[in-house]
Amino acid sequence: MKKKSDMKKGNSNRPKILVTGGAGFIGSHTTVELWNAGYEPVIVDNFSNSKKWVVISIRELTSSGIRCYDVDCCDQTNMRKVFEKEGQFYGIIHFAAYKSVSESVDQPELYYSNNIGALKCIMELKEEFGIPDLIFSSSATVYGDVKNLPVTENAPLGAASSPYGVTKQLGEELLLDAFETGAIILRYFNPIGAHPSGLLGELPAGTPQNLVPFITQTAIGKRKALKVFGTDYNTSDGTCIRDYIHVVDLARAHLSALGRLLVDRKTDIFNVGTGRGYSVKEVVETFQKVNGITLPVIYDARREGDVEAVYADCTKANQLLLNWRAEYSLDDALMHAWKWEIRLAEGIDLAA
């Protein structure tokens, strides 16, 4: 078994972790948590769906000079240069991927080439440079239409509903085939919220597709009304149920996954959620209550491709990811998301 003190180090005494997509929503929060926990995160991001000023915010939050390379993860030549320049990474957390379900339906080729291409490049460099650990961002989308709730990691997969989901499922299979040890796959449920400081958060490109950014943009006046998609589901109030997890809790799960690999090298899969489902109506009502805002809401038809209810069984993560568990409440997440939206409205130069 390795100890943290055995981890290969860079110039600092901090174990160096490569964070691909480290300027993105989950990547940026994870980078901050890594720094706070004593790691030295190094970001690679091509800024296709993120902004360069996010890296400045990360440095501000951590009072650090965290390095960032503007490189596409599919570009093996330039990725190799990052590995050569940085020296030994102890681990890689691979976030860099396209993530829009609807875009993936319109441009499946783009999703296959980018998401699978980037993962293959990372896997090859992991081998070439002898990097012990890899954490992979997967998604609860791989479960598709769930039969038994809460959903465990052993549930049958059904991701074929979108090319995005297929890239996640295929990514998992590639990793399981290639690495018997040293890889952890995290299946994220619905990440929401923002950094409690208000310095980091989600930056949806164009019209948001996910519920919480749509709520905050409606509350700030960028959108006329929130549409609730479907009120005739077989749930307590007729709206869909999801497991919403605060992005900082999700970020911390990555640190626990790195810690887990110190204890047990076996490649494994973990659900990362709260274990509790909330309906769309409950999320909307909670947002209004905690932030003192009334939202214009339109009750609309179902959105194609939505599953009725899905929330995680997190027993495995709670037990094996070093007692990791989600700590923030839905109230916290919705307060932090609103704080972030207000900060955006106060004027960050979004062109930067």
Catalytic residues: 164
- DSSP per-residue letters across 252-272: HHHHHHHHHHHH--B-EEEEE
Q: Return d(Cα 327, Cα 347) in angstroms, integer.
A: 30
Residue 350, CA distances (Å) to 47, 128, 195, 198, 205 in order: 13, 38, 18, 16, 11
- Angle, helix 163-178 to helix 117-128, in steps of 10 degrees: 20
Nearer to ligand UD1, 66 or 333 (CB): 333
How many C-alpha atoms does 1 have within 13 Å on its Cβ side? 8
Nearer to ligand UD1, 101 or 321 (CB): 101
Nearest partner of 191 among 22, 27, 318, judged by Cα: 27
Three-state SS for 171?
helix
Nearer to ligand UD1, 130 or 221 (CB): 221
Q: Return d(Cα 348, Cα 352) in angstroms, integer.
A: 9
Nearer to ligand UD1, 141 or 286 (CB): 141
For 329, the token pair is 């409440």
Q: Name the minimum Å distance from CB 284 to ligand UD1.
A: 8
Residue type, 232: D
Q: Name the minimum Å distance from CB 337 to ligand UD1.
A: 12
Q: Name the minimum Å distance from CB 80 to ligand UD1.
A: 31
Nearest residue relative to ligand UD1 (C-beta)? 240
Nearer to ligand UD1, 179 or 233 (CB): 233
Q: Name the minimum Å distance from CB 16 to ligand UD1.
A: 29
Q: Name the minimum Å distance from CB 195 to ligand UD1.
A: 18
**Contact residues for ligand UD1 (CB under 6 A)?**
101, 139, 141, 190, 209-211, 214, 226-229, 240, 242, 280, 303, 305-306
Q: Name the minimum Å distance from CB 141 to ligand UD1.
A: 4
Q: Return d(Cα 184, Cα 177) in angstroms, integer.
A: 13
- Specify whether the CB–CB gap between 148 and 307 falls below 8 A: no
Q: Return d(Cα 227, Cα 299) in angstroms, integer.
A: 6
Nearer to ligand UD1, 4 or 289 (CB): 289
For 294, the token pair is 């009334």
Q: Strand 244-246 relative to strand 190-192: parallel, antiparallel, unpaired?
A: parallel
Cα 192 versus chain centre, distance: 9
